[in-house]
Chain A
Amino acid sequence: MKAAVLVFPGINRERDMARTLKLVSGSTPNMVWHAEHELPAGTDLVVVPGGFSYGDYLRCGAIAARSPIMDAVRSFAGKGGLVLGVCNGFQILCESGLLPGVLMRNENLKFICHDVYLKVERSDSPFTRGYNAGQVIRVPVAHGEGNYIADGETIARLEGEGRVMFRYSSPDGMIDPNWNHNGAINAIAGIVNDKGNVLGMMPHPENHVEEAIGRTDGRGLFAGLTEALEKVA
């Protein structure tokens, strides 16, 4: 794996992400500054980490989406390169046009940090091959604006094309408003683009990769990616 972790001013989970990538894949990722115009040669995975890029003072992710490096990311994604956006990273990918839809304020209008249960909808993707379809994983969320929404047509396409990868669920995998903490439409926690090579998700799998720090449910995502990239190489 030769990952590039993007660093925008105000991003703050880039260290967590880099540490997890190293821990699971064994390779240290490149940290890439937003003002760069190129990704490092040989990059096979771009990760847009969480945080508050530009303070999220404007619509979340809107300014970062217009950074020079994002042109390089769009071109990389256009060629089928794998892109993972987590939390603010998901918001940035939506704002940059790589993913459809938008993340609104949580339904209760508050920042929420706690563990959630996610139902993994499919396992035939480079991002979810480390899990079984229908498996429920427990990972934390930490966001104020994670309430996913898109127009009806877009949602119908996402659902019809099987592009919802993760949904908020009960511990036994039931989709239930009581377990959808932010009010996202169809309990959507993570989606991919039409080609399946760009994933955006609100929860933080990178914070659940060590038994001693809680749980390891997030590991599958990074282990799966590592395998997928090794297979390609």
Chain B
Amino acid sequence: MNAAAKITPALVAEHGLKPDEYQRLLDLIGREPSLTELGIFSAMWNEHCSYKSSKVHLRGLPTKGPHVIQGPGENAGVIDIGDGLACVFKMESHNHPSYIEPYQGAATGVGGILRDVFTMGARPIACLNALSFGAPEHAKTRHLVSGVVAGIGGYGNSFGVPTVGGSVRFHNRYDGNILVNAMAIGLAHKDKIFYAAASGVGMPIVYLGSKTGRDGIHGASMASAEFDDDSAEKRPTVQVGDPFSEKLLLEACLEIMEKGCVIAIQDMGAAGLTSSATEMGAKGDLGVTLDLDKVPCREEGMTAYEMMLSESQERMLMVLKPDKEKEAEAIFRKWGLDFAVVGETTPTKRFIVRHKGEVMADLPIKELGDSAPEYKRAFVTAEKLPVIDAGAVEARGSIADALERMIATPDLCSKRWVWEQYDHIIGGNTVQRPGGDAAVVRVEDGPKALAMCTDVTPRYCEASPFEGGKQAVAECWRNLTAVGATPLAITDNLNFGNPERPEIMGQFVGCVRGISEACKALDFPVVSGNVSLYNETNGKAILPTPSIGGIGLLEDFTNSATLAFKRDGDAILVVGETTGWLGQSIYLREICAREEGAPPPVDLIEERENGDFVRGLILDGTASAVHDLSDGGLLVALAEMAMASGIGATLDAPPDDIPAHAYWFGEDQARYIVTVPAARADAVLARARDASVLVSRIGTTGGDALKLGGERPLGVANLNERSEAWLPAYMAGEA
């Protein structure tokens, strides 16, 4: 054993291991570790890889269901979508690197999640993302938006996957820590899913893809620490993406999988070779011996330590069937990719790393992962905020003025500037492009299609983690429903501050409980996910942001509903109860400058009944347009439906018992707007009464303006201009 380096307490601390964690390491191996071994432990036991603060709570999430083929624990989740096909999907964060180097951070975030999906044998068919930036006026925000959007586009466009949707928000709580959550969705044959578990002793372990360099060393450790003022110095820990190599890797991997060469496969993501090799061994109850002299390197003189911790991108580890090795190698050579046998499986359950004739590490493979520390961190549940009485919120200006202002705010304005930089049509299957409630992507030649979206309302989560967690799931379910899909499953990407602070841990625990409750009530299991903690700079944490990525199924994509009004004279119906809930609403924040009160509660039974009713109207062809109600409430949703079509509407006055501004802008949950041909409106209302679903008619489509009694007409063209103007102007430095 090479023990050249002296392991000092300072060195241990630099590796992010606490003194008690180091003691745990010593107890486990019964001796002082080598430097390489210390590096391996730091990679496996950091928060990012070990989930040590979150694991105990994540166990409460529902992960099973009739459609679930593979839940959390593999590279990605897998669900059955019928006809022998499976949908493979996951969302993952690349927050810390994206703040330090936005283009490469975001690009490699996309690359990593795509690899997670095609590692399982699926061809990626779509990407989405969920982005949170700091306040527009913050000095770095424009640069970060520009870099992140270019990076996501730069990777996905070149790789050749359509980026079909996502969300973008701005808030000063993300000034020091932006969030870049990337989601990928792939399609595989149900009986040809590939997993990480190795099997068989003496099997060759093969390294595939790009060469190993010194980039990204300690990337996972960086993602497990807070930022301070010197974080820009961490730029060398950000990896550099190469979408061209990834595209080759995709084609080569799918080709050798098709030829039946692969026993097990694992991508090299966070903690690179260390994490992939130990995972393959541990999951297969086998040992692994690696010979680092065989690893293709980009740079000379790389040490074992550097090779084991490199996070160079576009690399894979596989166990191949020995009789198919030559065939697999030929395919990789054809694609111009590196192919090297770098080790073998052993019966010993040891993880042995050799370099230049010396053993650099000799560790128990299962314990490396299984014995990672697990914390039941202290948490405090924040006090409930008071419910804000809508009657006590004074209206500011007219309803018309408020709407015009709101649709031009950073959070509600059109995000066209963003998604036009993403190729969202490649593949020829994009049924619904960005800008709707959910994207719809046809499955092969149809008629099936998948609906997909990402959602969370961080200000609700901050005000009430439990209700906010519920709401994130419910809104995702609602968005899928609004295009006519049956929601099947979710992936969750849980972004929070420092879990060592009880109030942050309280947010985490509350949100996870809320997510769990909503998933159970809506039969919407969690099949994959990722936790990103320590999103905090100088003690200031982000808003709790559990991004939810949902997948729904449409049996026939030609039945999907869109939010654009279709014609003059359709009846406009609101499904669900409107009480005028202003607490934590966009109106309260943007018009009254108050971020206050309890968020709207989510009644999950009502959510489900209302959604099922709406889906029924879509599938039987009754609904002509559908839109979910969320940020900004009823009038913002109506404006969006008008702007998408150029058709206006005449709207009835609010009921007497709700103040007008609360009626138009309140954010009560479980609601949709549905338009139906006027002649069928009464029948739909009767059907709703029979189903005990609250539906009321609030107006009629037509004309080129939104007309509210007592307010000046709001021209649709003018609304559109306002909604489209802000982001391009801001990015050009003009707003």
Interface set of A (CB-CB < 8 Å, partner B): 9-10, 12-13, 15-16, 19-20, 51-52, 54-57, 110-114, 140, 142, 144, 204, 206-207, 209-210, 212-213
Contacts and interface: CB of A to CB of B under 8 A. Distances in A.
20 contacts: A9-B244, A9-B248, A9-B336, A10-B158, A16-B426, A16-B427, A52-B243, A111-B150, A111-B153, A111-B157, A111-B422, A111-B423, A113-B424, A113-B425, A142-B157, A142-B423, A142-B426, A212-B446, A212-B558, A213-B430
Nearest to B431: A213
A20 B428 CA distance: 9
B733 to A, nearest CB: 14
B297 to A, nearest CB: 21
B428 A55 contact: no
Interface in B420-457: 420-431, 442, 446
B242 interface: yes
Nearest to B146: A110
Contact of B248 (A10, A13, A140): A10
Interface string B302-335: 0000000000000000000000000000000001
B420 A113 contact: yes
Given A110-B150, A213-B430, A52 B425 contact: no
Contacts of B420: 112-114
B72 interface: no
B425 A207 contact: yes
Contact of A110 (B335, B421, B442, B557): B421
A112 B157 contact: no
Contacts of B421: 110-113
A12 B431 contact: no
A13 B157 contact: no
Contacts of A9: 244, 247-248, 335-336
A12 B424 CA distance: 13
Contacts of A207: 425-426, 428
**Most chain B C-beta atoms within 10 Å of own C-beta, residue among A12, A13, A204, A207:** A12
B429 A213 contact: yes
Contacts of A20: 428
A53 to B, nearest CB: 9
Given A142-B426, A206-B428, A12 B244 contact: no
Nearest to B417: A110
Given A52-B158, A112-B420, A213 B428 contact: yes
A209 B425 CA distance: 12
Contacts of B430: 213
A60 B613 CA distance: 51
A15 B427 contact: yes
Contacts of B242: 55
Nearest to A35: B334
Contacts of B428: 16, 19-20, 206-207, 209-210, 213
A12 B160 contact: yes
B157 A52 contact: yes
Contacts of A212: 431, 446, 557-558
A52 B244 contact: yes
Given A20-B428, A212-B431, A212-B558, A12 B422 contact: no
B159 interface: yes
A204 B157 contact: no
Contacts of A57: 244
Interface string B125-169: 000000000000000000000000010011001111000000000
Contacts of B558: 212
Interface in B212-259: 242-245, 247-248
Contacts of B245: 55
A209 B158 CA distance: 23
Contacts of A12: 158-160, 247, 426
Contacts of B244: 9-10, 52, 54-55, 57
Given A16-B428, A52-B158, A111-B157, A10 B423 contact: no
A114 B417 CA distance: 11
Given A112-B420, A209-B428, 9 more contacts: A9-B248, A9-B335, A10-B248, A55-B158, A112-B421, A113-B419, A113-B424, A206-B428, A213-B442
Contacts of B150: 110-111
Nearest to B732: A108
Contacts of B442: 213
- Lowest 3 A-B CB distances belong to which pairs? A12-B160, A55-B244, A52-B158
A140 B425 contact: yes
A13 B429 contact: no
A14 to B, nearest CB: 9
B29 to A, nearest CB: 43
Interface in B356-387: none
Contacts of B423: 111, 113, 142
